[in-house]
Amino acid sequence: MPFNDSALVVGPFGARNGVPVNTQNRKAMNNIFTFSRAVSSLALAGALILSVAPAGAGTVAYWRFEEGPADANVPHGGLPGGAFYPGTLDSSGNGNHLSVWAEGWAGYAYRTDVASPLVPLTGAANNFSVQNTGGYPAMFTDSAAMRTMTPSAFTIEVSFKPETGGYRTLVGRDSRGAATVNPDLAALYLQIVPGDAVAIKFADVSGYWHEAVSAPGAITGFPWPNTAAGFWYHMAAVSDGSWLSLYLNSGTGYQLVAQTDLTLSGSPNTTLTAGLGSGGDWTAGNWSVGRGLYAGGHADRAYGFIDEVRISDSALAPGQFLFVPEPGSLSLVLLGGLMLCFRRFRAR
């Protein structure tokens, strides 16, 4: 409703009922109205931004690698290589724990090299990441819930500081025979590909293959063992059933680096497949971290550092990703906007 000063009732120092106030009073009242409207808009914007960032929306599994201590091996419980041992706990509370393949030659160790001391979305302490300790790193799940899940929408997030290389799968899902375009493909790859592009690829329950691949040079790996030359990245792959989107955060916020319209594929159902087949060292539907699968064999190992892996069975918005700007930064932005409005109001 527009401000109408012609009906303003003022005290003994102004106009009487029904008589317009003078020009100076009209200007002052309009300024007050403008300032009030700006404050309300900023407050609403802040509330909307904060409201879309629940910490656990649709979380299936969340591996934080915070067990420590520094430089200790991620434990495997003294079991033979390939046996499942829940050495990395699922912090979502769903019990979908993660196992290394073995300690040493096929394992990981805790490192204090992290992207940030806190996870911006949740404010949780981030003390450790993990780094491969041998030439055959692999981590995998073994829960029935994760093995059989077929989400129509999903989000996969991972933080990583990679070595140089070709195909490097950060998060995968084991399968052989689910993709009709090439039966040797696994069910899913969230990976770095040759040329240092990043990609999300998956097979759906109808056998169709989908992928979104960035332009080359999206990331820079470090030459082993020069870890100081490396960079941390945060990646999020999102499918809402109609669009497949890939976001990359190189330290300045998430940017959309690849996107594919799934409706153009002709698939009658773009739900993620649970996978097919099994082998002597893998089971269809299990998820992997740090390696992929191709033609039924472990492949595409991601050497370097990995941290903060979260899988959700819903399509999250960028404001819900783990490494969104810190809430404190948002407060400063809103405060700055209020101060600017006040200064403009005072200058009128």
CA 133, 291, 200: angle at the middle one, nearest 5? 135
Q: How many CA atoms lie within 13 A of 286 on its CB side?
A: 23
What residue has token string 């109001």?
345
Q: For the chain, which residues make up each domain, given as ranges?
A: 5-51+328-347, 59-323
pLDDT in 10s for each residue of the chain, 348 residues? 333 333 333 333 333 334 343 444 444 445 444 444 543 443 444 433 433 444 456 999 999 999 999 999 999 999 999 999 999 999 999 999 999 999 999 999 999 999 999 999 999 999 999 999 999 999 999 999 999 999 999 999 999 999 999 999 999 999 999 999 999 999 999 999 999 999 999 999 999 999 999 999 999 999 999 999 999 999 999 999 999 999 999 999 999 999 999 999 999 999 999 999 999 999 999 999 999 999 999 999 999 999 999 999 999 999 999 999 765 444 433 444 444 444 444 444
d(CA 214, CA 236): 13
**pTM of the predicted protein model:** 0.81
d(CA 186, CA 34): 58
Domain 59-323: give its CATH code: 2.60.120.200
Short-list 146, 151, 145, CA closest to 272: 151
Instruction: Indicate the helix (H) or strand (E) that contains 299.
Output: strand 297-299
Cis geometry, peptide bond prior to residue 225 (ω within 30 degrees of 0): yes
Within 10 angstroms of residue 59's Cβ, the number of other Cβ atoms is 21
